[in-house]
Amino acid sequence: MPEHKTQLIEKLTGVYASKRSYYGELKDKISEITKRNSQLEILNELARQISINTPLDQLVMNISDRVKQIIPFDRVSLCIFRGGKLYLNCFHPQDGLSCTGMEIPQDQGQALWHVGQTTRQLVWRPGSGLDDLHLQRLGIRVAVISPMFAQDRVLGLFVAANLEEINYDPTDLAFLQQLANQLTIYLQDRDLFAEVTRAKVEWENTFKAVKDLILVVDRKMQIFRVNPATLQYSGLSEEALMGRQCCEVICGAATACNDCAVCEALQTGETASSQHEFDDGRVMEFYAYPSNYDQGEPGVVIYVKDITERLKMQVQLLKTARLAALGEMSAGVAHELNTPLAVILGDVQLLLRELSMSEEKHELFDDIKTCALRCKQIVQGLLTFSRQEQYVFYPLSVNNVVQEALKLVGYQIETDNIRILTNFEDQVPQIEGNAQQLEQVLVNLLLNAKQSFEGTAGQRQIGVQTGYDQRRGQVYIRVSDTGQGIRQENLAQIFDPFFTSKGVGKGTGLGLSVSLGIVQTHGGTIGVESEPGRGSTFTVYLPPLPETETESA
């Protein structure tokens, strides 16, 4: 009691009890705030570094350097739990005992494992009950082990260690835990970032790989994203394209077309498609996919495909298929008719021989014979068209073929008051073929040309031209007229057997189909261009002799 009494008197009247000073309080507060500020700065810096993808060991080194300024420690390390094992992921500074990636077994690192299990921060000292050989070997006197806790599991441990005995105050410990938390976020983000980057690159590559045009436009149809194919198509740089109207860039139009899929998609929010034929004959298919429609900033992803070639091919395929079918049928019919025809013709000839010219019936049988012959001719034509007949091929010049044909029908044409203009190229390469067959083709074409002037006034002129088409690498014979032309809807059918625009009895409708059959047997094609009222041009393309090519070269 007396001692207690003395102490109280000392506090009441002695020199050591003083009025608390605001200056001291202020200084304490300021130093506290300064420290807190540095802590926040470090956390900020850490948060920033996450986004720029610093390597983890670099990050740990940076943290170590910065944190040392406010909290004393000699060593910092990061351990990661993976597959039920604990690994030293990185540490700073180098110590000659540790190496990155080394495993810390549970019996070696009891304190570390303890924190991993309890998920609570631990201030470890040697002899504190938990033997940690890993830390002891490093000569550590105090280690603050903070768990890196995420989604109900400990990802790893953040360890700040001291080689000297030191007392950390609670705010320091709280800060080290905050750092560990931040590092946890970093680790999670890093993995996520890598994942996202990979996915992004994949998508970008996909976008680039597509050879058709892909554009992304906003609600005003202004471009803000394109793939390389679009750049190539427009011939503009990416910068120049940004913000331009897609109508202008793709269609070369000032405003949107009536049936534009992009407009429709923008208005309805539904996927739309349209086809657009340009003046130069190209046909483009547009697919417009609305995107981001729900989030108030609607835009459209446009996929544009040039389908000109595809359409052409489709028409060609259709035609070929139909001709093939017709050919087969024709051949069948022709074979079936051949036998009864032969019988009719033989029998008629026998009957005619038995009848005298004066006999009344002679004329009737004669008619039968004429008609039977005509039938035989038709059957022959059908067989030719369906390439059922074999011919001998040999090298020949198309110029000769044309000249022979003109000898046959030239007079007939010119008497109909039609001028024939010829233009033969002397150096035209030789082809391999059958002259009689090809002459028949030419005769057919010339007669068709002659007939195209029926019922027309104006210039009556047929041009016959031969030459070599460099682009196709084929020899051609071109027969053009200034006649009535072929109506567009008929163009696709003119090669069909029995198709004719002429009056009944004026043609068999086999001329062109037989011609095509012959030309195809020669490995060639017949092209046709026609404009009603202006005339038609038929071009026979034939492959040149390979030897001829090398000889002329």
Which residues are near another protein by CB under 8 A?
5, 8-9, 11-15, 17-22, 24-25
CB 303 within 8 A of CB 289: yes
Q: Least separation, in Å, of the C-beta of 24 and another protein? A: 8
Q: Least separation, in Å, of the C-beta of 167 and another protein? A: 20
Q: Judged by CB, which is closer to another protein: 25, or 549?
A: 25
Instruction: Measure the CA–CA gap between 129 and 115, rounded to whole angstroms.
Output: 14
Contacts for 333 with CB less than 8 Å, ≥ 6 apart: 382
Q: Judged by CB, which is closer to another protein: 24, or 532?
A: 24
Q: Judged by CB, which is closer to another protein: 24, or 473?
A: 24
- Provide the pairing of β-strand 283-291 with 525-531: unpaired
Q: Which helix (H) or strand (E) holds 287?
A: strand 283-291
Instruction: Measure the CA–CA gap between 280 and 16, rounded to whole angstroms.
Output: 103
Q: Least separation, in Å, of the C-beta of 170 and another protein? A: 17
Q: Least separation, in Å, of the C-beta of 20 and another protein? A: 4
Contacts for 377 with CB less than 8 Å, ≥ 6 apart: none
Q: Least separation, in Å, of the C-beta of 168 and another protein? A: 22
Helices (H) and strands (E) in the chain, counts: 17, 17
Q: Least separation, in Å, of the C-beta of 9 and another protein? A: 5
Q: Least separation, in Å, of the C-beta of 41 and another protein? A: 28
Q: Judged by CB, which is closer to another protein: 14, or 252?
A: 14
Instruction: Measure the CA–CA gap between 507 and 450, rounded to whole angstroms.
Output: 13
Q: Judged by CB, which is closer to another protein: 17, or 553?
A: 17
Q: Least separation, in Å, of the C-beta of 34 and another protein? A: 19
Q: Judged by CB, which is closer to another protein: 5, or 471?
A: 5
Q: Judged by CB, which is closer to another protein: 6, or 268?
A: 6
6, burial (CB in 10 Å: exposed 0-12, middle 13-18, buried 19+): exposed
Q: Judged by CB, which is closer to another protein: 19, or 353?
A: 19
């005339």: which residue's tokens? 535
Copy the structure tokens of residue 408. 């046959």
Biggest CA–CA distance in the chain, Å, is 178
Copy the structure tokens of residue 94. 């180098």
Instruction: Measure the CA–CA gap between 319 and 176, rounded to whole angstroms.
Output: 80
Dihedral over Cα of 414, 416, 417, 419: its sign: negative
